């Protein structure tokens, strides 16, 4: 469905990314489609819901053109893009649809036959929740109501704790005593090419032991990592991409349970690194209603409610659409176009380098290419400035998109892409987008800054606070 021509509903941004004049923000396109349907007088209301285990439910309302209308297929495609954002932000295995029969049929075909839809079905449905995505045609009378849940993870600083963060190019660890950091370090590693689960176990254990050497005892361990974790169990994680599937199932899926057992079954919690990004920001500045975005090897995100709680949502914004044009940047893993990972990450920076006229060896690892452009930025290279201005523009429109799904007034940015002078440029251009496109949002959203040390180690510190000590 994603190949459907949606061109006439796309809207050029008022702030044009310097290195990407064809960028067409998802939030502007979706609102333009809504205005078009509203003015036509023939729109059909649609209710969409994604259901998680335990009947936690998130519901969204939208409109489409009726079956048989010349723009019906295009409106269905926009509906699919909205639903994709719901799946990867909220999570769920069952999709409820109250809408035209043509929309229901097109969604079923999409998740069965389309490459990008099949990926969503395979990963969100089968890998995360253990069940293929199910499309349920519903009526107003049978449609479920929104039911939300939040967890009480985070904010526990008593006792002797270890926090760790597993990134694609480095692993971090911190040791805390009653909330005071007594040790922190960062070690380079390359986990994505390692096939042996024991290698992963030993490397993580090494960081934990090095941190434990600075504590009189270890009461609890909390960790974060890119990927999807349900009850500290690995469901999907790029760090283990080279591990053969049978070994993933037999050893990697429960690797953190194995580590917990090795530490005498003390409280041991692991969540997505984006969750800890948000938690770190909320704890540092004592706020709620905060969206954390980490721009590193991928895009990670997390959300802290106004009550200061983490949610059970996926918050995998790397896979949510930000660009609706037909030729948007392709994510080779998912087979989809226009998703956040290609705009707000090291991958996004690497994609922009040749456009900026900055030549690098195509075999150079992404962290090294980012380091190179950071060096060019420090040297005052105007080409590097354009790269960061473009990323900042992407971020501004991404935040407008995310405001359609999350109730937040605070934003915290972390990750290697935001380090150094380039991070200041990203922040400034994102603010400019908000001010020009939506002044009310610009006035309502506060950006939070942290020190370089907190940027690099804040996640490990916040991760340490995840588990609650036993009575």
Note the Cα 234 to chain centre separation in Å.
16
281-312 burial, b if ≥16 CB within 10 A, otherwise e? bbbbeebebbbbbbbbbbbbbbbbbeebbbbb
Please report the pLDDT score of residue 459 as a whole number: 73
Q: 6 pLDDT band (50/70/90 cuts)?
A: low
CB 281 within 8 A of CB 290: yes
**299-304/290-295 β-pairing:** antiparallel
Please tell me the least confidently modeled range out of 42-51, 103-112, 139-148, 167-176: 139-148
Give the chain's mean pLDDT.
92
Tens of pLDDT, residues 190-221: 998 999 999 999 999 999 999 999 999 999 99
> 1 pLDDT exceeds 60?
no
Please tell me the least confidently modeled range out of 48-52, 124-128, 146-150: 146-150
Q: What percent of the chain lies above the pLDDT cut of 90? A: 75
> 299 pLDDT exceeds 70?
yes
Q: Please state the pTM of the whole predicted model.
A: 0.86
Q: What is the CATH number of domain 150-471?
A: 3.30.420.40
**DSSP class per residue in 231-299:** TTEEEE-GGGTTS-HHHIIIIITTHHHHHHHHTTT--EEEEEHHHHHHHHHHHHHT-SSEEEEEESSSE
Tens of pLDDT, residues 239-291: 999 999 999 999 999 999 999 999 999 999 999 887 887 888 888 788 999 99
Q: Where are the domains of the chain?
A: 7-137, 150-471
């Amino acid at each position: 469905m994603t190949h459907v021509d949606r061109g006439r509903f796309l809207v050029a941004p008022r702030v044009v990314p310097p290195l990407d004049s064809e960028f067409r923000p998802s939030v502007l396109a979706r609102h333009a489609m809504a205005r078009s349907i509203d003015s036509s007088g023939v729109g059909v209301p649609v209710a969409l819901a994604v259901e998680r285990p335990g009947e936690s439910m998130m519901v969204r309302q939208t409109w489409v053109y009726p079956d048989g209308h010349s723009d019906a297929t295009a409106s269905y495609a926009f509906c699919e893009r909205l639903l994709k954002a719901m799946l990867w932000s909220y999570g769920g295995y069952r999709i409820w649809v109250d809408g035209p029969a043509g929309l229901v049929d097109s969604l079923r075909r999409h998740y069965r036959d389309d490459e990008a839809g099949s990926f969503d079905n395979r990963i969100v449905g089968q890998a995360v929740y253990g069940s293929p995505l199910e499309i349920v045609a519903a009526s107003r009378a049978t449609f479920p109501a929104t039911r939300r849940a939040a967890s009480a993870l985070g904010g526990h600083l008593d006792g002797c704790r270890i926090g760790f963060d597993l990134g694609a190019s480095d692993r971090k660890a911190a040791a805390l005593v009653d909330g005071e950091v007594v040790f922190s370090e960062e070690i380079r590693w390359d986990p994505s090419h390692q096939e042996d689960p024991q290698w992963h176990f030993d490397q993580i254990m090494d960081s934990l032991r090095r941190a434990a050497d600075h504590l009189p005892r270890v009461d609890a361990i909390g960790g974060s990592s890119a990927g999807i974790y349900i009850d500290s169990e690995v469901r999907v994680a790029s760090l283990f991409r080279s591990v053969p599937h049978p070994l993933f199932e037999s050893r990697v899926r429960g690797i953190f349970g194995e580590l917990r057992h090795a530490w005498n079954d003390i409280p041991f919690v692991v969540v997505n690194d984006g969750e800890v990004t948000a938690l770190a920001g909320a704890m540092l500045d004592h706020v709620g209603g905060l969206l954390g975005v980490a721009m590193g090897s991928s895009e990670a995100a997390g959300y802290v409610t106004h009550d200061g709680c983490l949610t059970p949502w996926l918050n995998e914004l790397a896979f949510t659409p930000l660009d609706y044009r037909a030729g948007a940047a392709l994510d080779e893993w998912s087979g989809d176009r226009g998703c956040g990972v290609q705009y707000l990450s090291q991958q996004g920076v690497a994609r922009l380098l040749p456009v900026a006229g900055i030549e690098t060896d195509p075999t150079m690892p992404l962290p090294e290419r980012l380091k190179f452009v950071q060096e060019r930025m420090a040297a005052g290279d105007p080409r590097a400035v354009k790269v960061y201005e473009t990323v900042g523009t992407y971020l501004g429109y991404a935040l407008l998109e995310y405001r359609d799904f999350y109730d937040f007034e605070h934003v915290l940015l972390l990750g290697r892409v935001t380090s150094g002078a380039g991070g200041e440029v990203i922040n400034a251009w994102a603010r400019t987008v908000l001010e020009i496109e939506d002044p009310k949002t610009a006035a309502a959203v506060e950006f939070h800054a942290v020190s370089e040390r907190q940027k690099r180690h804040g996640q490990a510190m916040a991760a340490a606070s995840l588990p609650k000590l036993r009575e």
